[in-house]
Structure 1
Amino acid sequence: MKNKFLVIVLSLTIVAVHSMPKRCTESEDCYDEQLHPDLPSNGDSPVLDNEEDLNSYWLEKSKSFVQDQLARELNSKKAKNAIFFLGDGMGLTTLAAARVYMGGVEKQLSFEKFPYTGLSKTYCVDRMVPDSATTSTSYLCGVKTNTGTIGVNAQMKRSDCEDTKNSTKYVYSIGKWAMDAGKAAGFVTTTTVNHASPSGLYAHTAERSWESEMMVEMSCGKNSGVESIAEQLIHGDVGSRLKVMMGGGKMNFKRDGKTNLIDDYKGMSEKNGFVETRSELMSLDLNSVDRLLGVFSDVHMDYNLDKIDKNLDQPSLEEMTRRAIELMQKEKNGYFLFIEGGRIDTAHHNNEAKLSLDETEQFSKAIQAAREITSEDDTLIIVSADHSHTFSYSGYMDRNQKITDEAGIAADGLPYMALNYVTGPGFKSHYDSNKRQRIDPTSTNGKEIHANWPTAVPQTGAAHGGEDVAVYASGPWAHLFTGVFEQNTIPHMLAYALCIGDGLKSCDK
């Protein structure tokens, strides 16, 4: 009788334990539906390709990956050319979300197929989380410096009008190293051609906002002797030698109210080509020009989705990339080309997630085009970001949902989105300050091109993220770009592969 009683007690205990919500240990992945009521039940799970239900599917995928790794051979040839693609603000979260935006978590961005990957540490001399000016100096000039300064070392004081003229504090880019070695150099961007990222190639300044003469005068007064970034692009030692320059920012070339720096550029040579529309760029006979300046908008170039919506005569990043490479391929000694998807970052600053992910897809297409029209045998292509953003992708969504969908229901009874930001202007449109509660985010998100995504902390512009960013590499000496390394080593590794500059060179072995 006693034993029978113990059996009944044990049976009831087991039933009770199994009916209680599961408590997770630190080592467990616990996604119990009782702990996460927003999760779909098994009956609501999406119907996926039946192949994924089979062990053999995953085994074959894994075997194929291992075989590809084993078949890989190191390419230790001297690189004739190098192309550096920079996705501004393109952190790992952006990449993962962009895959879903493109059609599913299993999708790949073009550069994710590159054979070698690493991680770059993005901090700068004075701050843990950097801006695009200091990072540009890092990944183009090989020296870490202070926030807001470009092409100078950390001895330079930001916004100091006198200090900015002190050339002993200047540092020089891989673009100059390439041209000094007899190669060509140039850049393409979707921001202004005088913005922080491309300016690292040719400018030296204590203040990134000094893009135009007007901005210099506002800070330093008239006749200060301080050259704007636009002035340095047209008349500077490096800028005046660049073979291709494309992006936006026409308004920055106005000077003293009467003259225009673009007119200066055109007057330098009959073979200095200039275009300002997609039609002109695509129809241009590249054999008729030695250099090319393309300025396609007054400020930043428009977002891809806006270009489509408004039917604007602006080239895509892919089209600019193709034309730039075609012009560079005329150079018998090779070239260095910097190409920036700059509007990934500007969309993130506005919490416009949909725009940012679409710009990332356009960036991927440009890289695919570059790999198609160049040879992996002699052209090193690397892809990276200058910094990340405080952008999150979370929730337990079904595989068949869009990344712009809601992820579930939160504890306040309202939906929450899969995409969110920590900081930025999206706070205002998603929080009712009078009622002190969230506003249903599904009322706007995903429906408008420029919709703001929810934000936890109100700011006029979203802050950058401080985590490492990925680096992808393909071509000669691509295997150097592995492991975790300081961002400023990137141009030195590029220079090693190209056999240029004053540092280590592959041809010195």
Structure 2
Amino acid sequence: MISCTLLLVVVSFFVSAKETAANRHFRQSPSFGNYFADKRRPLLQTREYDSNFWMGRGMFDLNRRLKVLESPIVGRAKNIVFFLGDGMSLSTVTAARVYMEQTSGSSFPNGNASLSFEYFPYTGLARTYCVDKQVADSACSSTAYMTGVKANSGTLGVTGAVRENDCESSLEAKNRVDSILQWAQKAGKSTGIVTTTRVTHASPAGGYAHSANRDWESSAPGDCLDIAQQLVTQEPGIELDVIMGGGRQEFLPKYINGNREDGRDLIAEWKIRMKKNNQRYDYVRNKTELSNLNLNNVDKLLGLFSMSHMSYTGTKELERDEPSLSEMTLAAIEVLRKNNNGYVLFVEGGRIDHAHHQNLAHMALTETIAFSKAVDVADTITNPKNTLIVVTSDHSHTMTINGYPAREDSIIGEVDREEGPYSILSYANGPSASAQSYRKQMSKYGESFALYPSLVPMSTETHGGEDVAVWARGPWAHLFVGSFEQNMLPLIMSYASCIGPNKEKCSNR
């Protein structure tokens, strides 16, 4: 017993406890601090050659896990923050983790860095297929993780009885399904959506829309309402307390540079509705306006920060004065937390997916790290005893981590072997296969918008079909373990918070 205690004391000098930012998990520990400051690669190499190094670090992590897993939190989840990294495959998570450490000043990656959500105590695997497709799109997957019901590719908020483009079937009440946002509203909770894509895009729209086609964002056939119209005129969209992201064009008529052919200004209509209901509301168009808001005086917040999707993180386009995902997440929680009944917030890092579709591996990793920072914000300002945080992806992508690069090789670079150099990251398909020759592209690796090699020429890279990871912390987070269908996610959340289909099953807990 004494020897074990001494071992843990010694190891504690090598590994620090998790602080607010995941990047600081090992950076500020007494022994690793000097290494990262001085870049003393031989010293760390020597440590890794010693079996005691690995045993000590492993025992520390085992002890940390035992403390957490032996005491799962089983109280009611007053709040839920549901994070979605769109297209964030496991290979994306791994590569982003390595890239984060390599850009932190370390000359020799040591495997200690982790994205913020990787420190969450419970992890599972979700199966992402659609009713009609082996590989999911963001619409059928959104329906699954928002409503608990799997659907056909391209459809939102409807059952598998509705085929893509079948407007008539989507209007039938029996074919429509409610989302966790509506369950929360019926329980008296505040609700919100935050995304770096258009707020009418597939992932957030699964929480409030019923549509036979995910692309009906500003117009729809027959008696079907377009997605933007559903957001600002129908429940549960009109009852959302926070809506932030891009997509202003879907709400504005064509005569003022919008996409709407019906001549309606849905932003003006939203303001009128809020004023008529005596709501304390505000509409913001950029980071400056959001920063200047006194959120204590706002109960309904609409923020549309770009005409279409928001800009990629870290690009010059951010001079357009757009808030980061972290800033939007913080503002959303500040607005929602005023409700004593709690809240449910959906937050999407949507441009991870867009970068992968264009074979922009470097940018996909940058977006993943920005997403991790937003998770860290929520983790820091909420209480794990009453707030459940769930982090996952809707589907994977075809990016892989290739070959046998040395530990010090840049993850966004290439490996030089006898057979010739090759990139560490590459895709099974995509536009780079036909864009330029492989050799010409290699000189650009490391640039934010460098194209990474792909095998099969396609106008846009496809999704992947493998399972995606789920990370969770807070009340009943231990239910998110093992392998399960993607539609289980909202059902577990409903049980943890006693809303929706599990309201009566856990009401006596």
User: Same fold judged by TM-score > 0.5?
Assistant: yes
The amino acid that maps onto 1:107 is A
Which range moved further: 471-480 or 282-291? 282-291
Which of these residues, 174, 193, 196, is aligned with residue 190 of structure 1? 196
- Residue 430 of structure 1: how far off its partner (Å): 4.3
Residues of 2 paired with 1:377 and 1:98: CA distance? 29
Q: Deviations over 1:337-363 (max 9, x none)?
A: 000000000000000011100000000
Corresponding residue of 1:78: 76
Residues of 2 paired with 1:145 and 1:257: CA distance? 29
Corresponding residue of 2:300: 291
State whether residues 187 and 244 of structure 1, in contact with CA within 8 Å, keep that contact through their aligned partners in structure 2: yes
Corresponding residue of 1:442: 442
- Residue 310 of structure 1: how far off its partner (Å): 5.1
Secondary structure at the aligned position of 2:73 is classed as: coil
The amino acid that maps onto 2:265 is N
Instruction: Report matched runs for 1:305-320 at 5 Å.
Output: 305-306=314-315, 308=316, 311-320=319-328
Corresponding residue of 2:264: 259
Secondary structure at the aligned position of 2:74 is classed as: coil
Which of these residues, 34, 43, 48, is aligned with residue 52 of structure 1? 48
Instruction: Sort the Cα spacing of 1:410 and 1:232 in 2 relative to 1 into closer, same or farther, 3 A.
Output: farther
Secondary structure at the aligned position of 2:502 is classed as: coil
The amino acid that maps onto 2:158 is V
Corresponding residue of 1:31: none
Instruction: Sort the Cα spacing of 1:398 and 1:321 in 2 relative to 1 into closer, same or farther, 3 A.
Output: same
Residues of 2 paired with 1:498 and 1:379: CA distance? 9
Which range moved further: 321-330 or 308-317? 308-317
Which range moved further: 236-245 or 153-162? 153-162
Residues of 2 paired with 1:205 and 1:351: CA distance? 29
State whether residues 441 and 451 of structure 2, in contact with CA within 8 Å, keep that contact through their aligned partners in structure 1: no
Which of these residues, 392, 401, 406, is aligned with residue 393 of structure 1? 401
Q: Deviations over 1:350-399 (max 9, x none)?
A: 00011100000000000001011000110000100000000101122221
State the Cα RMSD in Å. Answer: 1.6
Q: Deviations over 1:105-152 (max 9, x none)?
A: 431000000000000011111011010000000000000010000000
Corresponding residue of 2:207: 201
Residues of 2 paired with 1:228 and 1:317: CA distance? 26
The amino acid that maps onto 1:245 is I
Instruction: Report matched runs for 1:212-291 at 5 Å.
Output: 212-213=218-219, 216=220, 220=221, 224-254=222-252, 255-256=260-261, 258-270=263-275, 271-291=280-300
The amino acid that maps onto 1:380 is L
Corresponding residue of 1:12: none
Residues of 2 paired with 1:474 and 1:347: CA distance? 28
Residues of 1 paired with 2:348 and 2:137: CA distance? 15
- Residue 473 of structure 1: how far off its partner (Å): 0.4
- Residue 160 of structure 1: how far off its partner (Å): 1.8
Secondary structure at the aligned position of 2:314 is classed as: helix
Does 2:504 match 1:507?
Answer: no
Which of these residues, 347, 363, 375, is aligned with residue 355 of structure 2? 347
The gaps in structure 1 that reach 5 residues or longer are 1-45, 432-437
State whether residues 305 and 355 of structure 1, in contact with CA within 8 Å, keep that contact through their aligned partners in structure 2: no
State whether residues 394 and 407 of structure 1, in contact with CA within 8 Å, keep that contact through their aligned partners in structure 2: no
Residues of 1 paired with 2:224 and 2:418: CA distance? 54
The amino acid that maps onto 2:98 is V
Secondary structure at the aligned position of 1:506 is classed as: coil
State whether residues 75 and 477 of structure 1, in contact with CA within 8 Å, keep that contact through their aligned partners in structure 2: yes
State whether residues 130 and 151 of structure 2, in contact with CA within 8 Å, keep that contact through their aligned partners in structure 1: yes
Q: Deviations over 1:467-508 (max 9, x none)?
A: 110000000000000000000010000000000112364334
Corresponding residue of 2:119: 113
Residues of 2 paired with 1:48 and 1:246: CA distance? 47
Residues of 2 paired with 1:332 and 1:192: CA distance? 30
The gaps in structure 2 that reach 5 residues or longer are 1-40, 102-108, 253-259
Q: Deviations over 1:314-353 (max 9, x none)?
A: 0000000000001111011000000000000000000001
Task: State the percentage of identical aligned residues.
Answer: 46
Corresponding residue of 1:94: 92
Instruction: Sort the Cα spacing of 1:163 and 1:460 in 2 relative to 1 into closer, same or farther, 3 A.
Output: same
Instruction: Sort the Cα spacing of 1:158 and 1:328 in 2 relative to 1 into closer, same or farther, 3 A.
Output: same
Residues of 2 paired with 1:352 and 1:52: CA distance? 33
Which range moved further: 286-295 or 228-237? 286-295
What is the TM-score with the length of structure 1 in the denominator? 0.85
Secondary structure at the aligned position of 1:189 is classed as: strand
Secondary structure at the aligned position of 1:331 is classed as: coil
Runs of 4+ that moved beyond 6 A: none
Does 2:169 match 1:157?
Answer: no
Corresponding residue of 2:33: none
State whether residues 189 and 339 of structure 2, in contact with CA within 8 Å, keep that contact through their aligned partners in structure 1: yes
The amino acid that maps onto 1:74 is P
State whether residues 354 and 404 of structure 1, in contact with CA within 8 Å, keep that contact through their aligned partners in structure 2: yes
Residues of 2 paired with 1:116 and 1:462: CA distance? 31
Instruction: Sort the Cα spacing of 1:94 and 1:410 in 2 relative to 1 into closer, same or farther, 3 A.
Output: farther
Which of these residues, 123, 130, 133, is aligned with residue 129 of structure 2? 123
Which of these residues, 413, 423, 432, is aligned with residue 417 of structure 1? 423
State whether residues 311 and 317 of structure 2, in contact with CA within 8 Å, keep that contact through their aligned partners in structure 1: no
Secondary structure at the aligned position of 2:500 is classed as: coil
Secondary structure at the aligned position of 2:282 is classed as: strand
Instruction: Sort the Cα spacing of 1:309 and 1:47 in 2 relative to 1 into closer, same or farther, 3 A.
Output: farther
Residues of 1 paired with 2:422 and 2:434: CA distance? 16
Instruction: Sort the Cα spacing of 1:474 and 1:310 in 2 relative to 1 into closer, same or farther, 3 A.
Output: closer
State whether residues 198 and 309 of structure 2, in contact with CA within 8 Å, keep that contact through their aligned partners in structure 1: yes
State whether residues 312 and 318 of structure 2, in contact with CA within 8 Å, keep that contact through their aligned partners in structure 1: no
What is the TM-score with the length of structure 2 in the denominator? 0.85
Corresponding residue of 1:476: 475
Residues of 1 paired with 2:281 and 2:336: CA distance? 14
The amino acid that maps onto 2:286 is T
Q: Deviations over 1:204-237 (max 9, x none)?
A: 0000000112xx2xxx3xxx22201000000011
Which range moved further: 161-170 or 294-303? 161-170
Q: How many residues align?
A: 447
User: Bigger radius of gyration, 1 or 2?
Assistant: 1
State whether residues 299 and 336 of structure 2, in contact with CA within 8 Å, keep that contact through their aligned partners in structure 1: no
Residues of 2 paired with 1:381 and 1:132: CA distance? 21
State whether residues 167 and 211 of structure 2, in contact with CA within 8 Å, keep that contact through their aligned partners in structure 1: no
